[in-house]
Amino acid sequence: MKAYLWKPLINYPNKWIGMYNDDKPPDRFIFFRGKFITEKLPKPIIDFVCPKERIEKLGSIYTTTGSPIVRNDVLEICADLFENQIQTFDVELHTENGVLNNYKLINILNLVEGVNFEESICDYFRDGLLMGYSYLVLKENCLGNLNIARLKETPSQILVSEKVKERFHKHKIKGARFIEPEEYYGEIYNLKKVFEGVGRVWPPEKK
C-alpha cells in the first residue's frame, strides 16, 4: 500500500499561512511525539493576516504548527479512517476580521519507521543527526494498517494512506494535497544535480 506526504497546495498563498503563536502554550512540538496527550492543554492560537472568508472555505489549513489543522466536517468525513489513530484539540484561528472556532488540530498517535535509507538521499547536521532529505523513498507498506502516522525518523513529515487521499478527493476537500515523496522532492530540487552530487545516476533504476 502506498503512503503519501500530507502537504499544502502547491500554489497556497503565503499570506494564508497561519502562524502558530509560540509566545503562548502549548509548545507545538508536544504534538510531534506520536502519543496520546493526557494533560489538559490551553487552546492553541494561530494567527492569519487575511480575512476569515479566505480561510473558512478550506477544509485543511496550512500553518507553521507542524500538525494538520482541519475543519470539523473533515473529521466527520474521515472518522472511520482516523479512528483510534488521532486525538483532536480545539484551536482558535485569529484572522483580520474575526476568530474561527470550527477547526481542530490533529494529534497523530503513531510514528512509523518508514525511510528507505538505501534509496533516499539524506541530509545531516554536523553532529550526524538526520536533518531532512534531498530525495525521500519510503519503505514498502510502511504504514501497515494505519491511515495516518508521523515518520519516526523526521516527525515533521506526515504520512497518509491511499484511502485518505481518495476520501479527500471524493468530498472535494480543499487546502491539502497528498503526494508521493519522490514526486514532491522532484518539485523542490533538481534531482539530476542532487544525484550527481552523491555519485548516483538520475533517474534511479527501478527495482
Strand residue runs (E) in 50-157: 60-61, 69-71, 86-90, 92-95, 98-100, 103-108, 111-112, 121-124, 130-135, 148-151
Q: Over the stretch 12-63, which tens digit does the pLDDT of each residue have?
A: 888 899 999 999 999 999 999 999 999 999 999 999 999 999 999 999 999 9
pLDDT at residue 206 in the model: 74
Give the DSSP letter of residue 202.
Answer: S
Pairing mode, strands 121-124 and 130-135:
antiparallel
Judged by phi (left if over 0) then psi (alpha if -120 to 50, else beta), residue 48 lies in beta
Q: pLDDT confidence of 207, banded at 50, 70, 90?
A: low
Decide if pLDDT at 1 tops 90: no
Q: Over the stretch 121-171, which tens digit does the pLDDT of each residue have?
A: 999 999 999 999 999 999 999 999 999 999 999 999 999 999 999 999 999
Helix (H, G, I), strand (E, B) or coil at 22: coil
